[in-house]
Amino acid sequence: VDGSAEPWLKTLQQAGLRPTDTRRQAMLITQPIEIQDGARYARLLPPIGAHPNGLSLQMDIDFAHPAVGVQPLAINITPETYASEIAWARTFAFEQDVEALQRMGLALGGSLQNAVVFGKESALNPEGLRATDEPVRHKALDLLGDLALVGHPIHGHLQAHRPGHGLTHALTQALRKATDCWRLI
């Protein structure tokens, strides 16, 4: 697999969807829930704007690398925008971090075929980036995947600054406990 969700999405699309008799309940955010770690944060707010029956996302990443830097992303998440704007974004790493990751037992199967690896100035992958903001789109993919583990589609507005799996996990834990901040619809 190429480090994105696109191959999985295509497999699911080829298999097709079938309606069921069970109605899936969504989680409507009614009060803000926030997790902060220094300057990093993730917060869920009640829905805003023109997307009241789904999830809108406003986030940014900030890496001290010339090919990444600060990258913002604002998007209303729908099946269509997920497929066209998020699913294709590949995971990424920085060349100077790869050895340390492997010593920790991580990225052991990593290669230029399943991740974007940034050297000192640019991506080392011969094909380059799929978009200049591919890193923030992959972080959005991570964020949405982690939130899916809550078990309900979320109707709200998600804001995140420099998110990561640990921060999102903490947000999902806080969400599960803060039953006064959401209701099932």
CA separation for the pair 32, 160 (Å, rounded): 13
Convert the pLDDT of each residue in 133-181 to its tens digit: 999 999 999 999 999 999 999 999 999 999 999 999 999 999 999 999 9
Q: What is the mean pLDDT of the chain?
A: 93
Query: Three-class SS of residue 142?
Result: helix
Query: Three-class SS of residue 182?
Result: strand
pLDDT of 50: 62
Residues of the chain where predicted confidence (pLDDT) is lower than 70? 50-51
Phi/psi at 12 (5° precision): -65, -40
Picking from 27, 71, 33, 34, the residue whose alpha carbon sits closest to that of residue 53 is 27
pLDDT of 181: 97
pLDDT of 88: 98
pTM reported for the whole predicted model: 0.92
Query: Catalytic residues, which ones?
Result: 165
Phi/psi at 45 (5° precision): -125, 160
Angle at alpha carbon of residue 71, lines to 99 and 173, rounded to 5°: 75
pLDDT of 99: 83
| Pair 170, 35: CB distance under 8 Å | yes
